Amino acid sequence: MTRLFLVACLVFAGACSSGGHSATATVTTTTPSSTDAVSPSGKIRGTLRIVGGPAPGIDRSIPGTVTAVAGSGRQWQATSTAASGFSLDLPSGSYRVSGTSPNVNGGRSPCVVPALVVVKSDTTTNVQVVCDVP
């Protein structure tokens, strides 16, 4: 990649120097530091569900927004559809996962996964984000 960049710069510099004009090309190469490294990542996928209500009750997928929050406070969001649910690619770690849906109290009631969701490298974790209705 660095050689290709160098060749492109030299070709460009040569083209610019024709006709009595001069050009200078500067090539800088950097080596990624450990802080630039990409974190191992995994995936969570699942559905946002409405559960409960008067007998016989309901339990079905609904559309909405799902949010995963890391311990650092960083957040990721995904849209969940009733037909295909949601999927989020996340760095390895633990997350609080919640959601909202316009189908549950106009989107004002939280939907939750009661426990921390642990994401492991190169692994897909299935979750159900539940919106309880009385």
Each residue's pLDDT, cut to its tens digit, for the chain (134 residues) gives: 333 332 233 233 333 333 443 332 223 223 333 333 457 899 999 999 999 999 999 999 999 999 999 999 999 999 999 999 999 999 999 999 999 999 999 999 999 999 999 999 999 999 999 999 98
Clarify whether residues 55 and 121 are in a common domain: yes
CATH code, domain carrying 124? 2.60.40.10
Shared domain for 88 and 51, answered yes or no, is: yes
Same domain, 20 and 56: no
Name every residue whose Cβ is closer than 8 Å to that of residue 110 and which is 6 or more positions away in sequence.
Answer: 98, 99, 100
- Are 46 and 100 in a shared domain? yes
Count of C-beta atoms within a 10 Å radius of residue 3: 7
Residue 37, domain member (yes or no): no
Q: How far apart are CA 48 and CA 46, in angstroms?
A: 7
Asked if residue 54 and residue 27 are part of one domain, the reply reads no
Does this model's pTM top 0.85? My answer is: no
Give the range of the structural domain holding residue 16, as residue numbers without chain letter.
2-31
